[in-house]
Amino acid sequence: MADIDIRIEGKIGRITLNRPDALNALTYDMAMAVEAALDEWENEARVAMVLIDAAGDKAFCAGGDIQQLYDTASAGDYEYGRRFWRDEYRMNAKLANFPKPFIALMQGFTMGGGVGVSCHGSHRVVCENSQIAMPECGIGLVPDVGGSLLLARAPGRLGEYLGTTGTRMNAGDAIYCGFADYYIPRENWTELTALLVKTGDWTQVDAMAQPAPDSPLASQQSEIDAFFGGETANDILRGMDSSEWCTKAEKAMRRSCPLSVAATIELVHRARALDQIDLVLAQEYRFTHRSASDGDFVEGIRAAIIDKDRNPQWTIPTLEKVTDLKVTQMLMPLGADELKIEEKRMKIGFIGLGNMGGPMARNLVDAGHTVVGFDVAGVTIEGVETATTAALAATDADVVITMLPNGAILRSVADEVIPAMRSGACLVDCSTVDVESARAVSDQANAAGLQAVDAPVSGGIGGAEAGTLTFMAGGTEAAFAVANPLFGIMGQKAVHCGDSGAGQAAKICNNMILGATMIVTCEAFALADKLGLDRQKMFDVASTSSGSSWSMNAYCPAPGVGPTSPSDNDYKPGFAAELMLKDLNLAQQAAEAADAATPLGQHARDMYAAFVENGGMGMDFSAMLPHLSNQKHDT
Ligand code: NAD
């Protein structure tokens, strides 16, 4: 199973972190999948609430996955980390503002990035082994992901104490400090989850809660308030006495990065005044943005995680040497780089700007996304930046969409764009192609660390222009969640049909029905003519009787009858006969590979092949009616 499992179960949207061997550390892709799920479920009527939980006993989520942050930052590339934090913080803000109940089940360690995907929820549940902490100062960062706001809201000066010492909270502490709301023993979580799935009613959480265990931190409140009330970290140190409590607290503060500790005191103070998640995240981002270039982040990770020597050489070696000016410099506004919590605008590569792809790309631009397009025919679309190769259109894109004539072309384009795409990006193929090509391209993308969705469409050129297409999608839940907001722009409906290839399977099965029903609808009109039955009468009966179908009711092949259709426009396509032939061929190819009996589908293919060869090329597929009208019974 993937690192994160996102699905709708009964009445809840459920997110399960699934990297137990890595203590469920949150990768960039996992954070983005959480955001995509929140976007999707915010207005999804089937989802009454969201529940996040995690596999394994040791940890809900021990923090952000810092390996790649370290690799890039230590090579002098600071932009990867900055984007990671920017995008993660936007997700944190969405979670904090999520309009439906958000339940978090937090066993074992919940730290740093793990706090950001849980503790901003509305119903936060802890159990007997829960341990929550914000230990970022230990690696040269500051409490982030909105954690400084949670710290600021903790009673008295607990925020300053927890943020600078990294002290772990047990279940009782977490509730006392405002990082959790409910204590429910772990053995009851399966029952709780089943009840929530069934009812979608958050009061079930209330009903199962038990009295919280004691909070050791609550009993230290008076010391914490007395010694952690200083204006700066150095004020706090100067106020300490020689008691055992102070000695221990000071030792914990001095174990961490001095610059981070000093900045944390300032951040918690600012968060208390701002008291608003997006403003607080912007303050935290000022530090994290500078943490590798001007701070100790790389050295902190090296000492704690990479070399594990626990002997960091901080740029400012002691707290006493950290000046107020240096703290101010780390927290100064970033100008154009300041964090803006706003809707994610995606960078989209679009390959194949033909009859369908052109208007689809245009609709994405109109919705505010940046689209870079490429078409071998040199097509340009207003508002779409033009790249000179498919690989250039795909470089650095969040999503690459392909809208191409067939599977062979899709495979060759995939060979070019997949190596150019950034890790974690999503390849969405909307062309109609064979199931085998769809699965091969999806496998190739997955092997390269990408997500993939096959999402052929129905609705034709009119639907592409009006943004009313229907998407039939195959791929993982996480990949679908990334692509779905774009389907919502280019279309009016998207059905997640299953794993990769399922979208193409749905498309060719649907179009086999369409091809066969169109032929028999045309045959019925041709027969009605010869029986002297008026076409309008025939329509009036069949469109409201058991002979009704989309071909009859919505796309009537008889001119002047039923709603306006290509038959009223001299059978100009619409949906060209040769495209219908292509889809019927794909259906037969799949039927042969799967050993499925489709005699009528096969005959429909043969009839469209004969039609395309005998004058049907370039005509709408409903022009089968005049074609049949000219034939006799035995032909
Ligand atoms: P189209 O021929 O108008 O567009 C295809 C575009 O792909 C062309 O502009 C072509 O130049 C470009 N192209 C070809 N090879 C390329 C390559 N190697 N790199 C970049 N660009 C390349 O076709 P369309 O009508 O837009 O259909 C596209 C897909 O959508 C097809 O798979 C079709 O079956 C499917 N479809 C079409 C309709 C419809 O009504 N037209 C409806 C549903 C699905």
Give residue 331's domain range: 4-335
515 Cα: distance to centroid of ligand 1 (angstroms): 20
Q: 368: buried, middle or exposed (CB in 10 Å: 19+, 13-18, 0-12)?
A: exposed
- Pick left, alpha or beta for residue 367 (phi over 0 → left; psi -120 to 50 → alpha; otherwise beta): alpha
Same structural domain, 256 and 401: no
Q: What pLDDT, on a 0 to 100 scale, did the predictor assign at position 424?
A: 84
Q: What is the CATH number of the domain that holds 329?
A: 3.90.226.10
Q: Are residues 70 and 97 in the same domain?
A: yes
Examine the domain organization and report whether 596 and 518 are in the same domain: yes
Domain edge (last residue) among 460, 482, 500: 500
User: If you measure from the C-alpha of residue 430 to the centroid of ligand 1, how many angstroms do you get, rounded to a whole number?
Assistant: 9
**Atom 13 in ligand 1: which residue has the minimum CA distance?**
352
Residue 597, φ and ψ in degrees, nearest 5: -80, 120
Query: What integer pLDDT is reported at residue 133 of this predicted model?
Result: 98
pLDDT tens track for 170-194: 999 999 999 999 999 999 999 999 9
pLDDT digits (tens, 9 = 90+) for 257-275: 999 999 999 999 999 999 9
**What is the pLDDT averaged over residues 26-33?**
92
Same domain, residue pair 269 and 123: yes
CA of 351 to the centre of ligand 1 (A): 9
In angstroms, the CA 341 to CA 207 distance is: 36
Ligand 1 pocket test, candidate residues 402, 403, 580, most atoms within 8 A of CB: 403
* CA quadruple 327, 330, 334, 338: dihedral sign: negative
Does residue 148 sit in the same domain as residue 236? yes
Verify whether ligand 1 is closer than 6 Å to residue 409 (CB atom).
Answer: yes
User: What is the Cα–Cα distance from 325 to 320, expressed in whole angstroms?
Assistant: 13
Residue 1 has pLDDT above 70, yes or no: no
The ligand 1 atom at the shortest distance from the C-alpha of residue 412 is: 18
Q: How many CB atoms lie within 10 A of CB 486?
A: 26
- Say what the pLDDT of residue 43 is: 79
Pairing of strands 59-61, 49-54: unpaired
Same domain, 194 and 326: yes
Q: Is residue 634 part of a domain?
A: no
Overall domain count for the chain = 3
Do residues 398 and 455 share a domain? yes
Residue 579 and residue 469 in one domain: no
Q: What is the three-class DSSP state of 323? A: coil
Q: Which pairing describes strands 469-474 and 457-458: parallel, antiparallel, or unpaired?
A: antiparallel
Which H or E element spans position 69?
helix 67-74
Statement to judge: residues 256 and 396 lie in one domain: no
Residue 623 CA to ligand 1 center (angstroms) comes to: 22
pLDDT of residue 68: 83
With CA atoms as reference, report the closest residue to 96 among 224, 294, 258, 271: 271
The sign one gets for the Cα dihedral 183, 188, 190, 192 is negative
Q: Is 376 in the pocket of ligand 1 (CB under 6 A)?
A: yes
Write down the pLDDT at residue 635.
Answer: 54
357 Cβ inside 6 Å of ligand 1: yes
Mean pLDDT of the chain: 95
Segment 436-483, tens digit of pLDDT: 999 999 999 999 999 999 999 998 888 899 888 999 999 988 889 889
635 part of a folded domain: no
445 found inside a domain: yes
| 379 ligand 1 Cβ < 6 A | yes
Q: What is the pLDDT of residue 247?
A: 97
Q: Rounded to the nearest 10 degrees, what angle do helices 577-594 and 599-611 cross at?
A: 150
pLDDT given at position 478: 83
Q: Of 443, 467, 500, which one is at a domain's C-terminal end?
A: 500
Pair 401, 349: CB distance under 8 Å: yes
Span 397-413, pLDDT tens digits? 999 999 999 999 999 99
The answer, yes or no, to whether residue 542 has pLDDT greater than 60, is: yes
User: Which amino acid is present at 453?
Assistant: V
418 by DSSP, 3-state: which? Answer: helix
For the segment 36-83, what is each residue's pLDDT rounded down to a tens digit? 899 889 878 899 999 999 999 999 999 998 888 899 899 988 988 998
Pocket test for ligand 1, best of 353, 355, 437 (most atoms within 8 A of CB): 355
Closest to 357 measured CA to CA, from 439, 457, 444: 457
CA of 406 to the centre of ligand 1 (A): 8
Mutation test residue for ligand 1: of 372, 376, 454, the one with most atoms within 8 Å of CB: 376
The residue among 420, 426, 351 whose CA lies nearest residue 386 is 351
Sign of CA dihedral 54, 56, 59, 64: negative
Q: Are residues 379 and 325 in the same domain?
A: no
Cα 322 → chain centroid: 41
Contact of 580 with 608, CB cutoff 8 Å: yes
- CATH value at residue 416: 3.40.50.720
For the chain, the residue count is 635
pLDDT confidence tier of residue 343, bands split at 50, 70 and 90: low
